[in-house]
Structure 1
Amino acid sequence: MDMDYYETLEINRNATFSDINVAYRRLALKYHPLRGGEPGSGERFRQLGEAYDVLSDPRKKATYDKFGEEGLKGGIPPEYGSSGAWSSKYAYHGIPDKTFKQFFGGDNPFAAFITSDEPLQFGGLRPGEVKTQDVHIERDLHLSIDDLFHGCTRKIKISRRVMNEDGHTSSIKDKILTINVKPGWKEGTRITFPKEGDQGPNNIPADIVFVVRQKSHPLFVRQVNDLIYKAQISLEMALTGFSVDVKTLDGKQITVPINSIVHPAYKKVVTGEGMPLSQDRSQRGDLILTFDIQFPQQNLSAERKQLIKQALALK
């Protein structure tokens, strides 16, 4: 049987976001399992959680208002979608206590209530209690080696719950966080935005922490502050000498002569052509050339083998 979310929260379809919050607050406190109450209060509490989860989210509410519970949970028909595919189907997580805690803040929502014979009232902390901060939230920040070489700016939109002016209800609001990426930042660099998590009356919002994750590059492999470049060369080149042209990350074309015999472990170091140092951008790591020697694929004739033996014979 379909559930009418508005009827569940005892509000009409013209209810404002504030009306939805007030209704959920009143009914969730009334039917919370810790209050005891009449038979069936557990199921009523679950229904309240689902109704609030939908109606407090503008996108879910808009879908529900237009297509009803069937459209919300089954997906929007193709004729209404931009790509012709059905939308993501909504399913309530089924943990009404989670919805309750997110609304009131903290892992122990009843810590701020009077639980004696007085009715439960929403308010501040008990005398002597101290707000605790929620566990920090980590998000990956994927950046290319070019981003980390030159530096860049990333703007990231987050949605978080903020307390309304009445001090009792909350709403979801978007905020833009700006990250100024410095040249030379490494994999694992952490950028912290203090107290930008969900707000609640009885908690300190969590810090949001972005962790740099470095994308792979088609030409270079980063090794701390150095850049590794692998060149494909023939056996003839390895034995007779050659030069390597490399386009660096700052757009320069450099030519590196190789006059030594190149063996499998051979490396050529070009000083100062690697990544900038984040603590001193005037300094840079090195560019290290490594080599993949391509051996002949076809068999050599006896005559050619003899010529090679003569050429390589030590005197």
Structure 2
Amino acid sequence: MGVDYYNILKVSRSATEEDLKKSYKRQAMKWHPDKNRVNNKEAEAKFKQISEAYDVLSDPQKRQIYDLYGEEGLKATEFGAAGPYGNSDSGFLYNPRDAEDIFAEFFGGSSGKSRASHRNGVNGEAGRNQGNNAKPKPKAKAAAIESKLACTLEELYKGARKKLKISRVVPDEFGKPKTVEEILKIDLKPGWKKGTKITFPEKGNQEPGLTPADLIFVVDEKLHAVFKRDGNDLVVHQKISLLEALTGQTFTLTTLDARSITIPVIDIVKPGRELVIQDEGMPISKDPSKRGNLIIKFEVIFPSRLTLEQKSDLKRVLGGAVN
């Protein structure tokens, strides 16, 4: 992937816009050349790397290309090179911004000012004293858009990656609306529950004068043919005959990760009885090494009728039975 921009900014791959801004401010103040007179060349190189990382990750389009194709795929577009985004029809050209321009956006000043003016800003803990460098009023943000994300119990048990193709409207280079398509990747974590939300900041439509809406996907569980989820537990309804309830039964069950487990039933099964098998439930999302329980709920099927002979035999066999 070449340069790891996430590592340079010291943020995770799921970092939000606010995370990126906070980390950039810390790193830029630390490595600005005017604050590192001794190791000036090293600081200048670090400062440029930090600025380039923020420039890429704070721009949704650049970040998407970087996540999919790395630094090489991103910068291949700078010269119109062939590649997934490097052809003339891509509508994207990577032009890195000046590091001092980015710094000035956060801490005041302008790109036309000399390095000396930036030095004054840095040495005075730039940006902390607002003075006349009033920040522009942020644009209002469109309301978030929520959509259900249907997941099987198997996916929520083992974890899975889902790829979703979305279409959204954004302004082109002339300000006219155009529709673009993107592939979003969602990594489901083992044990996630219904209602878990995954947010993609500013991936909604971009309307004039508004910051694009966030896209939010809400986990929903599909019905399963065998298992029903109850918190971190899994419930199975098992039908057994009256004879099996009285004499015992052994049955097998295929788990959500395709294992086959044997469940012996030795004791008499009374109506309403439940059998609890420890640690065979859903993973617990905060600690996937731990699991809930598997609960077997029995339903005893009674015969619809008995012959006189069968009744006589039952009386003879069960007549002396104790509770």
Q: Secondary structure at the match of 1:304?
A: helix
Is contact 2:272–2:299 with CA below 8 Å preserved after alignment? no
Is contact 1:221–1:227 with CA below 8 Å preserved after alignment? yes
Residue from 142, 160, 163 that aligns with 1:155: 163
Q: Secondary structure at the match of 2:263?
A: strand
**1:30-45 maps to which residues of 2 (within 5 A)?**
none
Q: Which residue of 1 aligns with 2:153?
A: 145
Q: Which residue of 2 aligns with 1:184?
A: 191
**1:145-294 maps to which residues of 2 (within 5 A)?**
145-166=153-174, 168-294=175-301
Please list every run of 5 or more consecutive structure 2 residues that lacks an aligned counterpart in the other structure.
Answer: 1-134
Q: Displacement, 1:128?
A: 8.3
Aligned residues: 187
Q: Secondary structure at the match of 1:236?
A: helix
1:118-141 CA distance string (max 9 Å, x none): xxxxxxxxx986521111111111
Q: Which residue of 1 aligns with 2:316?
A: 310
**1:85-124 maps to which residues of 2 (within 5 A)?**
none
Q: Displacement, 1:178?
A: 0.8
Is contact 2:189–2:285 with CA below 8 Å preserved after alignment? yes
In 1, distance between residues paired with 2:251 and 2:137?
68
Q: Which residue of 2 aligns with 1:50?
A: none
What is the TM-score of this pair, normalised by structure 1? 0.56
Please list every run of 5 or more consecutive structure 1 residues that lacks an aligned counterpart in the other structure.
Answer: 1-126
In 2, distance between residues paired with 1:197 and 1:253?
44
Taking only the aligned residue pairs, the percentage that are identical comes to 42
In 2, distance between residues paired with 1:134 and 1:215?
30
Single out whichever of 273-282 and 248-257 deviates more from structure 2: 248-257
What is the TM-score of this pair, normalised by structure 2? 0.55
Residue identity opposite 2:286 in structure 1: Q
Residue identity opposite 1:304 in structure 2: Q
In 2, distance between residues paired with 1:256 and 1:272?
14
Q: Which residue of 2 aligns with 1:134?
A: 142
Q: Secondary structure at the match of 1:309?
A: helix
Residue identity opposite 2:161 in structure 1: T
In 1, distance between residues paired with 2:165 and 2:280?
35
In 2, distance between residues paired with 1:133 and 1:309?
77
Q: Secondary structure at the match of 2:280?
A: coil
Q: Displacement, 1:303?
A: 2.9
Structure 1 runs, 4 residues or longer, greater than 3 Å off: 127-130
Residue identity opposite 1:184 in structure 2: G
In 2, distance between residues paired with 1:153 and 1:250?
16
In 1, distance between residues paired with 2:198 and 2:315?
60
